Structure 1
Amino acid sequence: MFERIPPHERRDLLIAWLAISTAFTLIFVRNRVDLSVALLYFVISLLTVGIGFVLHEMAHKFVAMHFGYWAEFQRDDQMLLVAVVLAALVGVVFAAPGATVVYGSSVSKRENGIISAAGPVSSLLICIPFALLAFFGGQWGLVGVIGYLGLKVNAMIAAFNMLPVSVLDGKKVLAWNPAAFVVLIVAAFGLLYLTYLI
């Protein structure tokens, strides 16, 4: 499997992983100056945001490859910078660190929809182990915090990507199958809403 991720794609994923984890760390430690707290939340971000982001993009890639197309993640340095600067200055993360590009002129609407849906579906699935950590890890224990943040952030990633605008996944899923779009966007925003009730 790893041989299908070329070195330049691994580098792009690593840089995007570090940048998006930095942006979320800045959100988590806002108005705190304790370096040890910042380092702890950076590690938590690597585990929660970072792993969720990588799995989301790899879901797109491997589903596309299942259909016989080459696909790879390409980072967007400008958007990575925007994510970190917005997090530092405004306290908001606009996480669009790049995209998985599918190469092939014959990609059908159905294939494109399924490839696009794979990312949000993976984000929703990864919420399950984080929800278990949040539930069994205790409200204020480290394991519980990791679980809660992982659940919330990955629900946020799924919800954001299901918006039916621009180049986001939701627009392609809606064009392929409106019923699948409704199921995924309701699941994503419903789960995100539940994280605010916990």
Structure 2
Amino acid sequence: MGLINLLTSNPLAFVIIAAALVLSLAFHEFAHAYTADRLGDPTPRRYGRVTLNPIKHLDPFGTLLLLLAGFGFAKPVPINPNNLGRWGTLWVSAAGPISNLLIAVLTAVLMKIFAGNFLAIQILGIVLSINVVLAVFNLIPIPLLDGSRILGALVPSLGRSLAQFEAQPFSFLIVMAFIFLARDPIGVIINNVQGWVERLIGV
């Protein structure tokens, strides 16, 4: 179910969830861009992506999908692997999910601090959940996701095959169709890992 349904049934929840999603996605993409920039690839800076400004990171179609279908995506950060090398590419790919896990941990700490504030706990719980989902989902090793690029850096021969697939004209539609059709088992995986992470950080 997309976020758009909340707009009429619970406008406050819509605003909170939408804001948390936009900011979390922006931070995720900023982490990719910042890491690439620090490791010597000027490509993200050339495209204006080394910023926390959400407008620079949101993809119009991905945002629309988020509103209507309940899942979507931000604009991928352009990088040049030739400037980064194998391990640099791995760290750039991992930076996004790591940033979301760091937000989740910080949120868990804040939830303990504001334990007596019901509204704060509700908002922080949403932020925590969104960032755990973003981290886990992006670590799934299927093309176009960070997990695929991490796997490709660890296994270069597989990485070349994945890159060739991603270069195909209809690769995006194929991956989106796969995610949609496999949304139930993917959801189970995400929920299980989310529960494990929340227990680990004491929520």
| 1:94 is aligned to 2:71 | yes
CA contact under 8 A between 2:63 and 2:74: conserved in structure 1?
yes
| 1:120 is aligned to 2:97 | yes
Question: What is the one-letter code of the residue matched to 1:57?
Answer: E
Unaligned 5+ runs, structure 1: 1-22, 87-92, 179-187
Q: What's the CA shift string for 1:152-186, capped at 9, x where partnerless? A: 110000001101011111111122348xxxxxxxx
SS at match of 2:78: strand
Task: Please report how far the alpha carbon of residue 45 of structure 1 lies from its aligned counterpart in structure 2 after TM superposition.
Answer: 2.4
CA contact under 8 A between 1:75 and 1:99: conserved in structure 2?
no
**14, 27, 34: which one aligns with 1:55:** 27
Q: Distance in 2 between matches of 1:54 and 1:74?
A: 6
Task: Please report how far the alpha carbon of residue 190 of structure 1 lies from its aligned counterpart in structure 2 after TM superposition.
Answer: 6.2
Q: Distance in 2 between matches of 1:143 and 1:103?
A: 41
Tell me which protein shows more strand as a share of its residues.
Answer: 1
Tell me how large the CA RMSD over aligned residues is. Answer: 3.1
| Percent identity of paired positions between Structure 1 and Structure 2 | 23
Q: Distance in 1 between matches of 2:95 and 2:81?
A: 18
Q: What's the CA shift string for 1:95-148, capped at 9, x where partnerless? A: 213211114644322111110000000000001221123334348811000111
CA contact under 8 A between 1:139 and 1:145: conserved in structure 2?
no
Distance 1:131 1:57, change over 3 A: same
CA contact under 8 A between 1:52 and 1:123: conserved in structure 2?
yes
Q: How many residues are aligned here? A: 155
Q: How does 1:119-138 map to 2 (within 5 A)?
A: 119-138=96-115
| Structure 1 segments of 4+ aligned residues over 6 angstroms from their partners | 195-198
CA contact under 8 A between 2:39 and 2:88: conserved in structure 1?
yes
Distance 1:119 1:44, change over 3 A: same
Please name the residue that 2:40 is paired with.
Answer: 68
Please name the residue that 1:192 is paired with.
Answer: 194
CA contact under 8 A between 1:132 and 1:147: conserved in structure 2?
no
**54, 62, 65: which one aligns with 1:79:** 62
Unaligned 5+ runs, structure 2: 50-55, 156-189
Q: Distance in 2 between matches of 1:143 and 1:104?
A: 41
Question: What is the one-letter code of the residue matched to 1:163?
Answer: I
Q: What's the CA shift string for 1:25-70, capped at 9, x where partnerless? A: 446x3xx845xx41x2244225532222111111100100012212
Please name the residue that 2:175 is paired with.
Answer: none
Normalising by structure 1, we get a TM-score of 0.65
Please name the residue that 2:126 is paired with.
Answer: 149
Tell me which protein shows more helix as a share of its residues.
Answer: 2
